[in-house]
Amino acid sequence: MARGLLSALAGAAVGAVAARAAYAALTRARPLDPGDRWTRKNHRGEPLTLLEGPAFVAGSTAAVALTPGLPGRVRVAALLAGGGSGALGAYDDLYGTTSAKGFKGHLTALARGEVTSGAVKILGIGATGLGAAALVSDGPADTLVNGAAIAGAANLANLFDLRPGRAIKAGLLAGGPLLAASLLRERPVAAALAAAPLGAAAALLPDDLGERAMLGDAGANALGALLGLAAVTRLGRPGRLALLGTVAALTAASEKISFTKVIAGNRVLNHLDMLGRRPVDPV
């Protein structure tokens, strides 16, 4: 456990420091400007920056590149999953349109011959997820299950990035137990893989909660993909199938149900969602 704990602490520390450094450099170079591609309006109509996403990708990928104890294939898989999904998310952040929405909407448009930025992202993240899975899996069947879980987790994390801090909180709530279980079961590789994105995400949480920045597709997709990769390296086949089923069910539900309304209607979920945030503006 000591070796796993040291690797996890190193990964979390490097992720946190690198993410904060990248965020400071990026926001200094591109301050808020309504005409800038990296500036958006939040749910209150106030400007904030999307540069938190690239900062997260930089921090988490630096952590998996530098954390000791990770086998080469796993390190490359993490760089592919996190960096690939982050780059594709950034593409959608900068060039995405609203002509189609949701997983179903983008695939329906693609079936009509319309290639949306969302469809490019979905197919690209699917490819990077499979590529990452191939590096850590035993055989084609495992690769398909693991690749779908990694890509699905990347997409699912993005569905939570609708309110300040929500996607990061969801990542911490999912990744925290995964990290703890990996340490207790002496799975140092899975522990390090989980700790790297969690450290980067936690370091950026204050700016997200303060409504100065948001992960955007770049950060949320990378967060989900890295945690998905950590999960498939930790879980046995039944656990990975259960993970894939849960991700698929939640993704399907999001096409019909508003996560924001569900969270607002549940006292516990709403309390967690509002923790650290500014009060909701009165209607």
**Residue 234, C-beta contacts closer than 8 angstroms, at least 6 positions apart:** 178, 181, 182, 185, 187, 190, 194
Does the pTM of the predicted model rise above 0.85? yes
Question: Residue 48: in which H helix or E strand, if any?
Answer: strand 47-49
Residue 233 covered by a domain: yes
CB 112 within 8 A of CB 118: no
Residue 280 covered by a domain: no
Domain tally, the chain = 1
Find residue 41's DSSP bridge partners: 47
Could you read off the pLDDT tens digit of each residue along the chain, which spans 283 residues? 676 788 889 899 999 999 999 999 999 999 988 888 899 888 788 899 999 999 999 999 999 999 988 999 999 999 999 999 999 999 989 987 665 565 555 566 656 666 676 777 888 999 999 999 999 999 999 999 999 999 999 999 999 999 999 999 999 999 999 999 998 888 889 999 999 999 999 999 999 999 999 999 999 999 999 999 999 999 999 999 999 999 999 999 988 899 999 999 999 999 999 999 988 765 5
Residue 281 covered by a domain: no
- In which residue are the tokens 């204050």 written? 206
CB 149 within 8 A of CB 215: no
Residue 170 covered by a domain: yes
Half-sphere exposure of 61 (CA within 13 A, CB side): 22
Question: CA–CA separation, 81 vs 37, rounded Å?
Answer: 25
Nearest-5° Cα angle at 226, 223 to 231: 120
Question: CA–CA separation, 186 vs 281, rounded Å?
Answer: 46
**Residue 202, C-beta contacts closer than 8 angstroms, at least 6 positions apart:** 12, 16, 168, 172
Find residue 49's DSSP bridge partners: 39, 213
Q: Report the amino acid identity of residue 169.
A: K
- In which residue are the tokens 């998996």 written? 64
Alpha helix (H) residue ranges in 137-165: 139-159
Residue 109 covered by a domain: yes
Pairing, β 47-49 against β 39-41 = antiparallel
Question: Residue 69: phi, psi to the nearest 5?
Answer: 95, -5
Residue 282 covered by a domain: no
Return the structure tokens found at 116.
């949306």
Residue 279 covered by a domain: no
Give the structural domain span for 58.
2-274
Residue 190 covered by a domain: yes
